[in-house]
Every structure is written in C-alpha cells, then in structure tokens.
A and B are shown apart, each in its own frame.
Chain A
Amino acid sequence: MAKPEKQYSGFKNFLRTPTPTLIGLYIVMIIIFTIADKNFLTVQNFRGIFNNFAVFGVLASGIMVVMLAGGFDLSIGSISGLVGIVSAVLMMDKFGVPTPLIFVIAIVIGCSVGLINGLIITKIGINPIITTLGTLAIIRGVCYFWANQNPRIYNVFIQGFGRKFIADIVPYTTIYIIVFFIILALILKFTRFGRNLFTIGGNETLARLAGIPVDRIKIITYVISGFFCSIAGLLLISQLGSGRPEYGTGAELEVLTIVVLGGVAVGGGKGNFFGVFIALLIIGSIANGMVMLDVPIYLRQVVKGVLLVLVISIDALRNRRNLQLY
C-alpha cells in the first residue's frame, strides 16, 4: 500500500461524486451566459449573485447536515421568517433590545424550533417530510402574529451584517458562507459526529447495531439546521431592510434544489460541501440569468420548480436502489 496509491484512491473517489460534472456544467454555463450577455462575467454581476444567494447558502449548510443523516427539513424557510420578524420587532424603538442580545435570541429561537422538529421526528417517529411540512405551516402562521407591526431596520450593525462588502468587491455574506462550509466540511471529515452522520444516512440499522446514538445525533442535526435558519433570518431582515411575516416563503424548495444538485443524496449518506458550493453558483447564476434576460417573474417560479424536479430525478436515477426493480 504505497503512498501514491492512496492519493490516487482519494482522487478516484472525488471523480465518483457528481462534483466534476457540476464544475464542467458550470464552465459551459459561464461560456454560454457570457456569449449571451457580456455583462455576465463581471465582478459587479458576481457580487450580486453571491449576495443574492447568501440566505440560500446559509440554509443549505444546515439542511445538508440534516440530509446527510437521512433526514429532511422543509420548515427552514418558515423558521428563518420567524427569526427575522421576531428580531426585527425586538429591534424597534419601543423594545430597544441590544444587538448582541438580538443574536442570542435569534439563535435560541432557531435552535429551539429545530429541537422540536428533531424530537417529533425521532421520538415519535414521524416521517421528517410530513413533520416539517406541518411545522412549516405552524411557524408561518405564528409569524403573522406580528403581521401589523411592519418594523423597519435601523440598527446599523444588522444593516451591515448582510449588505457590506470587503473592498467593495467581496460581500461579507460570501465570507460567512465560505467559513461555514469549511468549518462544516472539517466537522464532517474529522469528527466522530461527522463520520457518524454518513453511517446513519447510509444505513440506520447498521448505525444502531454499531452502538451509535442515532436519535441524539439526528436531533442535533435539526438543531444545527435551526441555527443556520437563525443566521439566515437575520440576513433576510438585513438585506430587505425590514421584517415581514412572509420572508423566507418557499426558500426550502430552492435550497433543496441546490443541495440535491450538489450531490447530497435524498436518502442520506452521500454529499460534500464543495459540490453544494458549485451548485449554489449554478442555481444563483440561473436566477441571475433569468433576471438579465427579463424572464417574467411567474415563469421564473416555473423554471425553479422544473429545476427541482429535474435535480431530484437525476438523484433518483443515480441512487437507484434494488427495490426500484419494479
């Protein structure tokens, strides 16, 4: 077992993931978009793409952890909406909550809702999609408690949180995403928790037989997802300048598209952050391209839906199990 063989093996494993295909696809896309519109390949435009997709990138970090362990979370859009409106209301003059405390409260809200999701899913044993579909509706309903408040964001720190740039080129949000992705990638690779996610997602029975605390780990993944919803919620109100109860609606579908396109298997056990990052760029550029090409807004929704269906179909074909015989 000589050393070069090892490296070859690692590279071979990388080639097996969909990531190389995604990179190729993205290069082709860049070429086509650049030919179609010479403004595409500009710093200005990419600055926009990155900033517009910050929220989705942050949410993708969380849902990816959940999905690796074979779970699912459709409530992410609602949770970030809830965090957004509550934080915005608390920042209003009549409450005047200090900024650090806003962050604490936001994170506590997100993590608590994630904890509830996780408890329902593991302790009662309900299908995670159904559970989070239910909590999606519940949380969105709760957001409307503050429907009449319409708070605007005057807090300078929060304003800058999702809108500032380094040297007027690199958005802060891009830094966040890269940092999150790197930290999570390291956790996945170098901690027992991270490795156990792959085991649970690959074969839950096996994980239980190996003595892995499956339920506890799954609950933690939903809490992590909740945490990233909190960050996303704060980014939402920062970028949009106010708190509204409908913020984040439908985000779950877009994030799902990104994550699955990035190579995270719907059943769990497979996925890497590099692939998700490329997928984020691809979906971001498509959205950006549609704006540049003046595609009508409602048609863009259709395109997004088609993309999702396309992506999950590819996933199904790629991860076809034996039972798919019939």
Chain B
Amino acid sequence: MTDNNGIVLKMENITKIFPGVIALEDVSIELYKGEVLGILGENGAGKSTLIKILAGNYIKDSGSIYVDGQKFEIKSPSEAMASGIRVIYQELNTLNNLSVAENIFIGEQLVKGPFKIVDWKAMTKKAGEILGSLNVALDPNSVIGDLSISEKQIVEIAKAISKDAKILVMDEPTAALSEEETQSLFKIIATLKSRGVSIIYISHRLKEIFQITDRVVVLRDGKKVESIKTKDTNANELVTLMVGRDIKEMYPKREVPIGNTVMEVKNLTADGFKDISFKLKKGEILGIFGLLGSGRTSLVKALFGANKVKSGEILINGKKVDIKSPKMARDEKIGLVPLDRKVEGLALHLGVKENITLANIEDLGKGFLIKKQLENKKAQMWIEEMGIKTPTMDQEVNSLSGGNQQKVVLAKWLESGSKIIILNEPTRGIDVGAKIEIYKLMQNLCEKGSAVIMISSELPEILSIADRILVMSKGKMTAEYSRKEASEENLLQSACI
C-alpha cells in the first residue's frame, strides 16, 4: 500500500471549466508523505479551485486523483474526509451561536456508550487539548460569535487537526494571524509533519513559503508552470514564475502628477474600525493594506455609505458631506468596485448593457421610460473604451471571464461619472493579462483627473501600483508609507501591530 515511492496523493491532468473561464487546465501535482508542499500563484491562478476539487466541493471535469496509489473519485466532502483529507478554508466556516468545542467537532461530535450519547465533557476536554497544543488560551466553552477573526481562524485550524488527517490543506491560514500566532502555527505544522502528515500550504506570502515548505508548485492562469524544491529557488525566481513576465511589465507604473486633495477623512469611526484619518489627492492611487479582519472592508463600506458612520467626517473637495447610503455616495461621484463582484458588484443574470448602466438608470432617458438607442450607445461606448470582450452587449455577464466582469463593474462607475473610485481587491480571481489591463485602466483614470483608493492584500501589487500606502491593523491606522519607503517587511510589520 505504501509502495508508491511515498506518494500519498497524486492529482493527474485535472481540468475544471467554469462559464467563461478555464479555472484549471491539465494540472498535475504529487504530494509525498510528511511533506509540506507550497502552492503559489496570484489571485485567480487556480489554487482555490484545485483544493476545492480535492475536498470534494467541486467535481473535476477531467483528470484523475490517486490517494495512496488507489484511484479515488471524490464526489462529496464526506468522501474526501473519510479518506483523511482535511481542509482549512479561506472563508471562515464557524457557527457563531455555538461554542468553540462544538465548532471543532461539527459533524463528528464525540459520543459514548451504546446509544451514542454526545459526550460534552470529552469534547470540551479534547478541544482544550487541541487548543493547548496550538498554544492558544481559548475557553472551549466560549461562544464563537464573541471571538475575533484571528481566534476564529485558530478554531478552524483546530477543527482540521481534531481528527487524524492524512492530508491537510491550508488555504491562506495566516491571512488573519499575527506574527506570533503564525509562528505557533508553524510549530504545529512541524509537529504534524514529523507524525507523517502531508500538508498543502497555500499562501502568497513568500517569506512563509520559504520558512515552512519543502517544495513549491507554481500555478498561473490555471496551469502548472513549475514544481521546484524550495531550497533550490529564491524569491525573485518564484515571483517571475507566478507572474510569467518581467515585473516591470506586470506592474506598469506611470507617474501621474498629483493634484489637490479631493477627499479628506477625519477621525472616522464606524463598526469595524476607529479613528481613521487620511487625505486622497487628485491623480493619486492610494493603497490600503491590512490583514483579514483589520477593518479595511468596513472602512471602504463606510466611505461608500453602506456601513453606518458613528463619528468623524468626510470632506469631498473641501466640502463636508454626509454619506448615508450608496445612492448618496454615487451622487457624490464615488464609485465602489467591491470585494466580491459576483455578490456585490454585478447582476449576473442581466446583460452587459444593463450592468453598465446599473448605477445610472436615471440618465437613460428624460422621463419615466428608458430610451433604448441611448442605452445601446452608452453601452457600446464603454465596451469599446474599456476593451470588454463580449459577443454582444446583451450577453449575460455571468458568462464573461473574471477580468471582463471586473471591467464591466468599472464601466458602471465611469458611466455614472465617478471621480473617486474605490477598488477592493480589484484583481481577485482574474488572469494575469486582465490584471495588467486593470492596472492600466486605473492609471488612465488618474491621468484623467480621478483619484483611486485600492485595497489589496497582494504585496507585490500594492507595492508597485500605489503611490502611497496606508496600513490598517485591528481597526486602526498604524502606518503610512510612500512608495519609496514601503517594503514587504514594513507593511507586514505594521499590519500586525
């Protein structure tokens, strides 16, 4: 059974196609016993799809999977779990009104006796032990809803290691963790490794990859580009592999003259953050960096009227404004390209045309009715201007690729005349080519006199594209760097204060 050169998992020629995009094309990976395999790739390279297939969450379109040399068709999460595959997902999967102990044992509560009575005492005790081994002081009886995001992430990790796993997949487990917490996680990984557990570790923090992995697989645009021993490579090589081209070409930065302040935020406080102040200038790209749970998305929503401001003020062109709803934000010429475009940005089952005019329906005609020629003209103009690839303007946006969808969202705000564009992780889930286009579009906007706020957790991106970077941690602003001052180290450091 173990006679396959220590390979515990083999995924061969895996392909997965979503409408409008090939998420994975012919990807093969092997995982050895007791190995930590890093999977590296930019947003949208196919990392998440790959592990969702492994977890039984998606069904592959073609290819085969072998576990311990046996061919294995994974059709559901329970099948994957039964064969010892455990996944810590990026999205937090905890139930807020249940206790820590219960969350750790979801679906497999400890039972005793012939009647399989749930053994609460044993669960609390075991949960305490697991948490203890993770070096965290969390009461197994506390309710999840009371915990911070990083504590929830630790519960997720505890959940995954609560049962003996053969293959443990960690999808950006440190996204919300401080440096110390990260180091204790690495100790756990080392222990698990020595017990013979194989680990797939996904992250786009190179420092972690070098610290913890034995081997790295690099994905790009749904294809495997390289599989290499960690000790045989270096950061530059990995970045080049991930991006697939020269860094300068990847992040085309044009210097745009910076103008007057267009937006000023003074001591803004709302749910999720406190006392934030900054200025945004015409022609500028202002980057905001922070870990998961740092309050960056709450801040964006507050600026856009979708999160109630408790105190502080926002000035636009020197005039105090009171933005109570996205409608008012739009009327102040602010646009938001949200974190999850499918949920927050697009009406997926409407056409490209309807989505482009979505934020500016008022201007589709004089009275009550929509003037069709006018709408067609506007849509056509933006499709050409932004280079949106779509068969017709009536095509459902659902069937476009991620990059083209993102351009539709951007076009929507330009159509409504936005001068301040806020982009929350603008290149999430889109391919490299489209990313470059988005960067160029952002800079075109700046040249035309708009101002851009870009939230990003992708370090190379924010370091190269932003003119100035603000760092948030635990709901507070902890640092501000100019492009020259900023580095991977000082951003991460400020983000963990």
Contacts and interface: CB of A to CB of B under 8 A. Distances in A.
10 contacts: A1-B139, A5-B139, A13-B143, A189-B118, A195-B102, A202-B97, A206-B94, A209-B89, A212-B78, A269-B97
A191 interface: yes
Contacts, number: 77
A38 interface: no
B1 interface: no
Contacts of A209: 55, 57, 77, 89, 93
Interface in B69-101: 76-78, 81-82, 89, 93-99
Interface in B108-126: 108-109, 111, 116-118, 124
A6 B124 CA distance: 10
Nearest to B131: A1
B142 interface: yes
B95 A198 contact: yes
Given A9-B141, A206-B93, A192 B98 contact: no
B118 A203 contact: no
Chain A interface residue count: which class? 20 to 34
Contacts of B124: 6
B124 to A, nearest CB: 8
Interface string B300-336: 0000001000000000000000000000000000000
A196 interface: yes
A1 B57 CA distance: 37
Counting chain B CB atoms within 10 Å of each CB, which of A206, A209, A269 scores highest? Answer: A209
Contacts of B93: 203, 205-206, 209
B118 A9 contact: no
B403 interface: no
B235 interface: no
B222 interface: no
A51 B99 CA distance: 38
Contact of B118 (A5, A192, A210, A270): A192
Interface of B: 55, 57, 76-78, 81-82, 89, 93-99, 102, 106-109, 111, 116-118, 124, 128, 139-143, 306
B302 to A, nearest CB: 12
Interface string A196-208: 1011001101111
Contact of A210 (B77, B139, B142): B77
A9 B139 CA distance: 10
A10 interface: yes
Given A189-B118, A210-B77, A199 B95 contact: yes
Contact of B116 (A192, A207, A325): A192
Contacts of A208: 76-77
Contact of A190 (B78, B98, B117): B117
A214 to B, nearest CB: 10
Given A209-B57, A209-B93, A325-B306, A191 B98 contact: no
Contacts of A210: 77, 81, 106-108
Nearest to B52: A209
A213 B78 CA distance: 9
A194 B120 CA distance: 13
Contacts of B116: 191-192
A10 B78 contact: no
B474 to A, nearest CB: 20
A211 interface: yes
Interface in A1-56: 1, 5-6, 9-10, 13, 16
Contacts of A190: 117-118
Counting chain A CB atoms within 10 Å of each CB, which of B94, B97, B98, B142 scores highest? Answer: B97
A10 B77 contact: no
Q: Ordered nearest first, which 9 A-B pairs have the shortest CB separation?
A: A211-B78, A210-B107, A202-B95, A9-B141, A212-B107, A206-B93, A210-B106, A190-B118, A211-B81
A198 B78 CA distance: 18
Contacts of A194: 118
Nearest to A2: B139
Contacts of A213: 78
Nearest to A5: B139
Given A9-B142, A192-B111, A211 B76 contact: yes
A206 B124 CA distance: 21
Contacts of A203: 93, 95
Contact of B141 (A6, A191, A325): A6
